[in-house]
Amino acid sequence: MKQSRGSLYLLDTNTVAYVLNGRSKAARRRLKGVGVDDRVAISAITEAEIRYGLEKKPEAARWKQAVEDFLAAVEILPWDSDAARAYGAMRAAMSAHGKTLSAMDLLIAAHAAAVDATLVTSDKAFRFAKGVRECVNWATDV
């Protein structure tokens, strides 16, 4: 499979939630404006967090359909051995400097580093995740 020459954007869980629930019109606009050579993806870790949220609200059928439609339209990257290597290095480096991220955020950051993606997040804590190419905030209106 031939890789595109554009950017790879890895959306974190909060960004996906802002897009799906309509809280951030800016993030929705930015997502719709992604170039044809660019890729938008989420980590399988983000998918897990989203599915957990759905399980907590089984009565939210409309929300579930929106999530399923989104997941069908976006590339979901498997969390693999390369991500595990990046995680080990990132966690050790952050620990050595007294910095931390939540467990799931650290997994997502490591995944972004492993696939050389731009991490799309509004969470400023990700700036401590060494090895991530770049962090950008599409949800500038939140």
Q: Could you tell me if residue 141 is inside a domain?
A: no
Q: Could you tell me if residue 1 is inside a domain?
A: no
Q: Could you tell me if residue 46 is inside a domain?
A: yes
| 142, two tokens | 């939140």
Closest CA to 120 of 129, 109, 104, 128: 109
| Residue count of the chain | 142
pLDDT interval class at 2 (50, 70, 90): very low
Q: Could you tell me if residue 142 is inside a domain?
A: no
Full domain range(s) for residue 61:
8-136
Q: Could you tell me if residue 18 is inside a domain?
A: yes
- pLDDT tens, residue by residue, 27-59: 999 999 999 999 999 999 999 999 999 998 878
| 140, two tokens | 């500038």
Q: Which residues of 120-129 are buried (b: 16+ CB within 10 A; e: fewer)?
A: bbbbeebebb
Average pLDDT score over the chain: 93
Q: Could you tell me if residue 106 is inside a domain?
A: yes
Query: What percentage of residues in the chain have a pLDDT greater than 90?
Result: 82
- Residue 40 in contact with residue 76, Cβ under 8 Å? no
Nearest 5°: CA angle at 57, between 53 and 62? 100
Q: Could you tell me if residue 41 is inside a domain?
A: yes
Residue 117 sits in a domain of what CATH number? Answer: 3.40.50.1010
Q: How remote is the C-alpha of 97 from its chain's centroid?
A: 24
Three-class secondary structure of residue 128 per DSSP: helix
Q: What is the mean pLDDT of residues 98-118?
A: 96
What's the domain count of the chain? 1
| 30, two tokens | 């930015």
What are the backbone angles phi and psi of residue 91, rounded to the nearest 5°? Answer: -65, -40
